[in-house]
Amino acid sequence: MKLKVFITVFLLLITFTATYYFWPSEKIDFNSQVKPILNNKCIACHGGVKREANFSLLFRQEALAIAESGKKAIVPGDPNHSELVRRIMESDPEERMPYKEEPLSKEEIKILTQWIEEGAEWGDHWAYLKVENPEIPKASSWARNEVDHFVEEKWEQQNLTPSPEAEKATLLRRVCLDLIGLPPAKQNAKLFLGNTDDSTYERLVDSLLASPHFGERWASVWMDLARYADTKGYERDDSRSIWRYRDWLIRAFNKDMPYDQFITEQLAGDLFPNPSDAQYIATAFHRNTMTNDEGGTDNEEFRIAAVLDRVNTTWEAMMGTTFACVQCHSHPYDPFRHEEYYKFMAFFNNTRDEDTEAEYPLLRHFDKSDSAELALLTKWIDKNISSEKASEVNLFVKTWQPAINLIQADQFTNSELSDSKWLIFRNHALCRLQNVDLEKKNQLIYRWLSWKPNGKWTIHLDQPNGPILKIIDVKSTNGNWAISALDFPTAKGVHDLYFTYTNPHLKTPEDNGMMLDWFHFTTSGLEKDKNQYAKFWTLLNKEVQTTPITVENPQSMHRVTQVFERGNWLVKTDTVQPEVPQSLNPFPKEAPKNRLGLAQWMTSKENPLVARTIVNRVWEQIFGAGLAETLEDLGTQGIPPTHKELIDHLSWKLMNEYQWSLKKLMKEIVMSATYRQDSKITPDHLAKDPFNKLYARASRVRLSAEQVRDQALSVSGLLSNKMYGPSVMPFQPDGIWQSPWNGQTWTKSKSEDQYRRAVYTYWKRSSPYPSIMTFDGATREVCTARRIRTNTPLQALVTLNDSVYVEAAHRLALNMQQKSKEVQQQIAIGYEQAIGQPITSEKLAVLEKLYHQALTEYQRSNQKLVSYHKQHDQQLPQTKALALVASAILNLDEFVTKN
Amino acid sequence: MKEGQRQKINQAEYLQNLENITRRHFLWESASGLGALALGSLFGSCSPLDRKPDSFLSTNPLAVKPPHFIPKAKSVIYLHMAGAPSQLEMFDFKPDLQKLDGQDCPASLLDGKKFAFIRGVPKMLGPQASFQQYGESRAWVSEHLPHFSTAVDEVTFLKAVQTDQFNHGPAQLLMHTGSARLGRPSMGAWVTYGLGSENQNLPGFVVLTSGGKNPDAGKSVWGSGFLPSVYQGVQCRSEGDPVLFLKDPKDVDRNLRKASIDAINEINHLNYQKSGDPEILSRMAQYEMAFKMQISVPEVMDIHDEPQYIHDMYGTKPGRASLANNILLARKLVEKGVRFVQVFDWGWDSHGTDSDLAIDIGHINKCRSVDKAMTALIFDLKQRGLLEETLVVWGGEFGRTPMQENREGKKNPFKGRDHHTEAFTMWMAGGGIKKGFTHGETDAIGYSSISGKVTPYDVQATILHQLGFDHEKLTYQFQGRPFRLTDVAGKVIHEVIG
């Protein structure tokens, strides 16, 4: 009997055990099940930052290694011999992991155990895997295109159904704001509202995509990523002329430049063979970094700061990845190693810019005839000297590059980098220019100025009193900059140059004699044709406008890139070569190891991040939130996407079907049934999906800062259509600009320039345009991947009281008066002009009441005015009352919101 | 999942409440006003620790939130002397430096060091002031601060503050944002994010500037960095609108402004009924707050009504933009429930390049311009019973060298000192800080800290601690990781806590 019971129990036990072990349970998925546990519970101590007990869970190879204890934490396939399993199940609090924290739950322990049992495979995070085209889910007849298939699929679980299509007027305003950032123009309204044909919507979309305003709207988005501003930043925050880059963006968006080309030109336009001016201007993307003009700063520190910013911005803006962490240590959660940051930095560490006050290299903009002259000169050199010399001279005339900047001088006696900006010689001056490559060079072209005649500047080789390369008699330029050339016997090799300077006219040791700006060492040869030589000098000295651009160092100026220990630029360790992180797609074999090759790597179809990042961003601009909400971080710590397959589908299409055309991508999105839904939020929506993550309705989104302004100007008829050109200064209250050591002032622009779109507003980093900032604009000091919308009383004060909006309301009122004599109609017209919908009787009654209340008050106060004042107060009480109504309309929620 | 559910519940409750509030009559018709409404308590349970910050709720970001533990201080007044005052002429008495006056600086102080402007071998510069000991704490104070000498028993001096940034912009950023680079939120923004705002009619974080210039680091020292912009400091000005765009246009009086906001909100409410979007209710509340701010801000920013003895005490003159006026305003603001007031005064950069920047001319004037008012602030807060709950912090972004500046290796036209990172003085008072105490000491010539060394991060950690925060836990998820004010550093200076 006993035996029978025993056998039964034994058999049962075996069955249970067998069931437990051999039941075909789902295989554990690393990304969705294991990685979250590791990230939340383990990796703070055993990851990229800290590696307690020399154990890290960041990479599989590290996790499987023998830890400090001499044991293996993870033995794939063998949980019983895995120290990790023992430690998470341990009851002794000194031994148990996570140390001094809540123990893991049974479920978590089971997942980790089973995962090790199954071989402890490391899965790759979705965003680091190559983009594949997912299977398109089935959909109902509601669907209009494939976007809808992916959206509808997610509704089943929540039992959601689509909202009806939005009213035509609502849809019209929505799609206009989304594509061109402006409310509907009259002709569009007429075309669309007056036509019941289903195809008119598509025609409307096509016409908006073709509108020149399209580029202005989307350039604004990119300018946050590019940290575009019209000033240099930091303390002095002086002006910088870089608006041609903004215009380049507008043009690029308007002509639908393929996105792969769009980012390639910005990262490496200067490395194309014979780059066009436009390609150079595109490289201003990475010259939007800040320049520090504060006296006493270390120029190398801020050059490095700019380079690091370029690395971080490239990742954040174009690859939706927070790379900045890796500057100090391996990424705590994502598969990027510390040294990989510096390998990536090596791509960017060899540009010619060096935190100089002048912000060299600058592209010098010649007018048409001078450009033609330069082309002829280049051609002549090509034919008569050599093609190498031709391209060298062409680059030099266009950019004054390559040149050694004054800030490279050191070892000063009676000489100084004054205010860290200017190289000054006093009497008996001495300084050094280190490591100058003179191989086969026999000419120096340099930029200088002097205050006193009869100076003597001597260039010695290798020692302060070493062999003399050249003695120069320095005349006075009366403090004006000049460019000159001097010849010396053809030299060999790399030398330190020592400069000495004396001048009998300098009476005191404090008097300044001369200043130097840059040094271009070259070979002579142009002199042999007097005409050409004269042309060269004329062009070189031409006073022209400029734009900061990127120019690569020639081999002789090559910088070595080293790893900074814990991110500290003063502690340099291993030397590294340009390379991309191993965990992503391999660097294309045939690609050069420079920024151009880097761009090829990024725009390769193998790159998992670039297409997904832009798809997610375009979606966010249209729906108010990204499919993955954290635009700046698609990595494991970002918020997981709501519709991963949709991101992948659109990304695949962007690369493979649309040949990187953003207009086609946008068209697909706005043509979808998802996009065309009504935005009404039902109680059912609010209960099931309060934040509209599943898109069973359209999202209501407050307009961007730029759109708020542009729309008010547009509906009141004030908006100027003028495109391009230097940034403008619309009305701004006094006393906003107070930068130290900076005499620049906000000078209100004249005539129509006051009423340009916000994309043209002058952007001062330390003191940005106030109303833009109130509506969540970015300061653009660093890359801003997304703006977070807020809703504050200060926003109300802007649209109620900022002169820009007061004027817009007044204009709108005059417009209303012009179109009708009758108050009710005037109000109805004003409302419709602003909101794009006919007014309801209820709303009309509210505004009418406001009108009459205001009118009564204005009439009463008008009677009190003596005739003198009456003459000077030209506005009729009726106009003032109507202006108050117009202001109310411009403040309605439905006006500042995309419905 | 749990978080999501709670957000949903909160959201539903919040909507119901907002609806009730805004349904029929608008807020200013109720005597208590919005400040008294339970708006704050709606999200009261969400401390910054358990909110999921990436899903930022724009509906009421300034709701009052509890800190991590019971705070000593409710508000902070931070007086920043931009340009960096000279500790050697104010608080750090170094008689031995006098003996070295005019001698060459020893090489040991220069080897391996970098200065902003000093080149070659500078001369030592003795203190340009005489010092005496005051109060029971026997604290040394210079002759340039006759008023402040009476307040030493209320304050704690930090004599050995050390920074690693020797340029103004980066050093100011480090002091206020915990990073020498741009892009991080300022201390006031962190505090407003963590605590919300007590007075819904005034901004939670106010900035006042004097000296005719903004700080070198620009508005970033009161910026919100990656936090939502609602947390940035609001600059209140003594000339023009006290807050930008506060004043109604000339044809709009209070009645008409009320009528127009009434009309706007009535229509907004109609739209809410149609569209069901809670954001509309929130916007209606913002318009009502704006209306109230139009009254409450000019009121609090007007010092005309202060009694004469207060003006005498602070040395204030109504209608002028001055540091003294701003210090008095700071008191008024914290009295009204503003959490964080930052006062910046420009012009303390005494290099000796001209007479305004001479250590024995301009710097003395700067001392005089702050002496009376900062002293009055301490005593005024005390007599109002506010000192215990108001933390007053005073300092610059770094200190000044014991050497005389020799810019470009030449003698400067006036006596001046270069930027100095290794040791400088700050002081704190009120808000649970020790009275009549000195923490930290410098060497015989005030060159380096020899004990009680603290960093800007430590000062930040201490300020947050007094406000009830664990500085390591007041975080915001950004770029895939939690960020905090003190970055990866900072220790609370427990020695100075009373």
**DSSP string covering A238-275:** -B---HHHHHHHHHHHHTT--HHHHHHHHHHGGGSSS-
Is A779 close to B223, i.e. CB distance below 8 A? yes
Is B229 close to A776, i.e. CB distance below 8 A? yes
Closest Cα in chain B, distance from residue A460 (Å): 23
Closest to A896 (Cα-Cα) out of B263, B279, B251, B230: B279
Q: How confident is the model at residue A332 (pLDDT cuts 50, 70, 90)?
A: low
Assigned token pair, A122: 């490391």
Chain B residues touching A636 at Cβ < 8 A = 480
> 3-class SS at B417?
strand
Q: Residue B112 falls within a domain, yes or no?
A: yes
Q: Domain residues for B317?
A: 75-242+294-496
Closest Cα in chain A, distance from residue B105 (Å): 18
Q: How confident is the model at residue A212 (pLDDT cuts 50, 70, 90)?
A: very high
Question: In which residue are the tokens 């190693």 written?
Answer: A337
Environment class of residue B123 by beta-carbon count within 10 Å: exposed (0-12), middle (13-18) or buried (19+)? middle
Q: Residue A329 carries which side chain, given as an amino acid letter?
A: H
Of A235, A333, A899, the CB nearest to B169: A235
Is B217 close to A235, i.e. CB distance below 8 A? yes
> 3-class SS at A61?
helix
pLDDT at residue A386, as a whole number: 95
- A893 at interface of B, judged by CB pairs closer than 8 A: yes
Give the integer Cα–Cα distance in Å for A353 and B493. Answer: 43
Is A793 close to B287, i.e. CB distance below 8 A? yes
Q: Is B4 a residue whose pLDDT tops 50? A: no
Closest to B294 (Cα-Cα) out of A712, A796, A810: A796
pLDDT over 70, % of chain A:
95
- CA diameter of chain B: 81
Closest Cα in chain A, distance from residue B42 (Å): 17
In whole angstroms, how far apart are CA A691 and each of A701, A896, B4, B285?
A: 11, 19, 10, 20
pLDDT over 90, % of chain A:
71
Q: Residue B272 falls within a domain, yes or no?
A: no
Give the integer Cα–Cα distance in Å for A27 and B108. Answer: 67
Q: What are phi and psi of A478, to 5 degrees?
A: 55, 35
Q: Is B18 a residue whose pLDDT tops 60? A: no
pLDDT at residue A567, as a whole number: 80
pLDDT at residue A363, as a whole number: 98
Radius of gyration of chain A from its Cα atoms, rounded to whole angstroms: 33
Of A233, A633, A679, the CB nearest to B275: A679
Q: Residue B285 falls within a domain, yes or no?
A: no
Prior bond of A98 cis (ω within 30°): yes
Give the integer Cα–Cα distance in Å for A607 and B222. Answer: 39
Of A683, A793, A843, the CB nearest to B267: A843
Closest Cα in chain B, distance from residue A263 (Å): 22
Q: Residue B404 falls within a domain, yes or no?
A: yes
> 3-class SS at B236?
coil
Q: What is the enclosing helix (H) or strand (E) of B24?
A: none
Please answer whether residues A647 and A641 qualify as being in contact, where contact means their C-beta atoms are separated by less than 8 angstroms: yes
Please answer whether residues A439 and A492 qualify as being in contact, where contact means their C-beta atoms are separated by less than 8 angstroms: yes
What digits encode the pLDDT tens for the residues B408-456? 777 888 999 999 999 999 999 999 999 999 999 999 999 999 999 999 9
Assigned token pair, A146: 């494939």
Chain A residues touching B209 at Cβ < 8 A = 738
Cα B93–chain centre separation:
27
pTM above 0.90, yes or no: no
Q: At what angle do helices A662-671 and A644-656 cross, to 10 degrees?
A: 140
Q: How confident is the model at residue B57 (pLDDT cuts 50, 70, 90)?
A: very low
Question: In which residue are the tokens 């809540």 written?
Answer: A102
* CB-CB neighbours of B470 under 10 Å: 16
pLDDT at residue A571, as a whole number: 87
Q: Is A184 a residue whose pLDDT tops 60? A: yes
What digits encode the pLDDT tens for the residues B246-298? 999 999 999 999 999 999 999 999 999 999 888 898 899 889 989 999 999 99
Q: Phi/psi zone of residue A351: left (φ > 0), alpha (ψ -120 to 50 degrees), beta?
A: beta
Q: Residue B416 carries which side chain, given as an amino acid letter?
A: G
Chain A residues touching B257 at Cβ < 8 A = 800
**Quick one: closest CA in B to A636, which residue?**
B480
What digits encode the pLDDT tens for the residues A856-883? 999 998 776 555 455 555 678 999 999 9
* CB-CB neighbours of A428 under 10 Å: 15
What digits encode the pLDDT tens for the residues B30-54? 323 333 232 322 222 233 333 333 3
What digits encode the pLDDT tens for the residues A358-380? 999 999 999 999 999 999 999 99
Q: Is B143 a residue whose pLDDT tops 90? A: yes
Chain A residues touching B255 at Cβ < 8 A = 857
Q: Residue B465 falls within a domain, yes or no?
A: yes
Q: What are phi and psi of B394, to 5 degrees?
A: -130, 135
Chain B residues touching A508 at Cβ < 8 A = none
Span between the terminal Cα atoms of chain B, in Å: 43
Q: Domain A381-543 sits in which CATH superfamily?
A: Galactose-binding domain-like (2.60.120.260)
Q: Is A624 a residue whose pLDDT tops 70? A: yes
Give the integer Cα–Cα distance in Å for A240 and A13. Answer: 79
Q: Is B25 a residue whose pLDDT tops 70? A: no
* CB-CB neighbours of A253 under 10 Å: 21
Assigned token pair, A155: 């509704």
Please answer whether residues A778 and A706 qualify as being in contact, where contact means their C-beta atoms are separated by less than 8 angstroms: no
Radius of gyration of chain B from its Cα atoms, rounded to whole angstroms: 24
Please answer whether residues A624 and A701 qualify as being in contact, where contact means their C-beta atoms are separated by less than 8 angstroms: yes
Is B290 close to A510, i.e. CB distance below 8 A? no
Please answer whether residues B156 and B437 qualify as being in contact, where contact means their C-beta atoms are separated by less than 8 angstroms: yes
Assigned token pair, A199: 């195809």
- A591 at interface of B, judged by CB pairs closer than 8 A: no
Give the integer Cα–Cα distance in Å for A262 and A243. Answer: 17
Of A237, A305, A842, the CB nearest to B270: A842
Chain B residues touching A847 at Cβ < 8 A = 263, 267
Strand partners, A460: A468, A498
Q: Is A9 a residue whose pLDDT tops 80? A: no
Chain A residues touching B481 at Cβ < 8 A = 322, 325, 332-333, 637
Q: Residue B20 falls within a domain, yes or no?
A: no
What digits encode the pLDDT tens for the residues B358-371? 999 999 999 999 99
In whole angstroms, how far apart are CA B10 and each of A95, A497, A687, B145, B269?
A: 40, 72, 12, 53, 21
Q: How confident is the model at residue B23 (pLDDT cuts 50, 70, 90)?
A: very low
- A641 at interface of B, judged by CB pairs closer than 8 A: no
- A781 at interface of B, judged by CB pairs closer than 8 A: yes
Q: At what angle do helices B168-177 and B187-195 cross, to 10 degrees?
A: 20
Residue of B18, B168, B182 for testing the chain A interface, max A β-carbons within 10 Å: B182
Chain B residues touching A629 at Cβ < 8 A = 54-55
Assigned token pair, B239: 């000339």
Q: What is the CATH number of the domain that holds B168?
A: 3.40.720.10
Of A332, A880, A892, the CB nearest to B251: A880
pLDDT at residue A359, as a whole number: 97
Assigned token pair, B314: 């602070």
Q: What part of A 706-735 touches B (C-beta under 8 Å)?
A: 733-735
Is A305 close to B246, i.e. CB distance below 8 A? no
- A304 at interface of B, judged by CB pairs closer than 8 A: no
Q: Is A469 a residue whose pLDDT tops 70? A: yes
The 8-class DSSP code of residue A316 comes to I
Assigned token pair, A494: 């790399």
Closest Cα in chain B, distance from residue A307 (Å): 13
Give the integer Cα–Cα distance in Å for A216 and A252. Answer: 10
pLDDT over 90, % of chain B:
64
pLDDT at residue B60, as a whole number: 66
Closest to A726 (Cα-Cα) out of A366, A290, A361, A241: A241
Q: Residue A113 carries which side chain, given as an amino acid letter?
A: T
* CB-CB neighbours of A690 under 10 Å: 16
Chain B residues touching A682 at Cβ < 8 A = 276
What is the count of structural domains for chain B?
1
Is A680 close to B245, i.e. CB distance below 8 A? no
Among the listed ranges A438-447, B160-169, B222-231, which one has the minimum average pLDDT value? B222-231
Of A779, A797, A887, the CB nearest to B260: A887
Chain A residues touching B219 at Cβ < 8 A = 766-768, 779
What digits encode the pLDDT tens for the residues A558-610? 999 999 988 888 889 999 999 999 999 999 999 999 999 999 999 999 999 99
Cα A823–chain centre separation:
48
- For the segment A209-225, the average pLDDT, to the nearest whole number, is 98
Q: Is A488 a residue whose pLDDT tops 80? A: yes
Chain B residues touching A301 at Cβ < 8 A = none
Q: What is the enclosing helix (H) or strand (E) of A861?
A: helix A841-864
Of B117, B256, B479, the CB nearest to A884: B256
Q: What part of A 817-876 touches B (C-beta under 8 Å)?
A: 840, 842-843, 846-847, 849-850, 853-854, 857-858, 875
Q: What is the enclosing helix (H) or strand (E) of B392?
A: strand B390-395
Give the integer Cα–Cα distance in Å for B97 and B95. Answer: 5
DSSP A138-154: P--TT--SHHHHHHHHT
Residue of B15, B57, B232, B264 for testing the chain A interface, max A β-carbons within 10 Å: B264
Chain A residues touching B237 at Cβ < 8 A = 735
User: Could you tell me which residue, B220 or A414, shows the higher pLDDT?
Assistant: A414
Give the integer Cα–Cα distance in Å for A795 and A782. Answer: 24
Q: Is B342 a residue whose pLDDT tops 80? A: yes
Assigned token pair, A87: 């430690």
Q: What part of A 428-457 touches B (C-beta under 8 Å)?
A: none
Among the listed ranges A92-101, A284-293, A735-744, B249-258, which one has the minimum average pLDDT value? A735-744
Is A846 close to B252, i.e. CB distance below 8 A? no
> 3-class SS at A212?
helix
In whole angstroms, how far apart are CA B143 and each of B157, B163, B358?
A: 17, 27, 17
- A743 at interface of B, judged by CB pairs closer than 8 A: no
Residue of B214, B229, B256, B291 for testing the chain A interface, max A β-carbons within 10 Å: B229
| Buried residues in A695-726 as b, exposed as e (16+ CB within 10 A) | bbbbbbbbbbbbbbbbbbbbbbebbeeebeeb
Please answer whether residues B485 and B460 qualify as being in contact, where contact means their C-beta atoms are separated by less than 8 angstroms: yes
Q: A246 CB contacts (<8 Å, ≥6 apart)? A: A219, A223, A228, A727, A759, A760
Q: A525 CB contacts (<8 Å, ≥6 apart)? A: A385, A389
Give the integer Cα–Cα distance in Å for B493 and A492. Answer: 61
Q: What is the enclosing helix (H) or strand (E) of A683?
A: helix A683-688
Chain B residues touching A843 at Cβ < 8 A = 267, 270
Q: Residue B289 falls within a domain, yes or no?
A: no
pLDDT at residue B218, as a whole number: 80
Q: Is A661 a residue whose pLDDT tops 60? A: yes
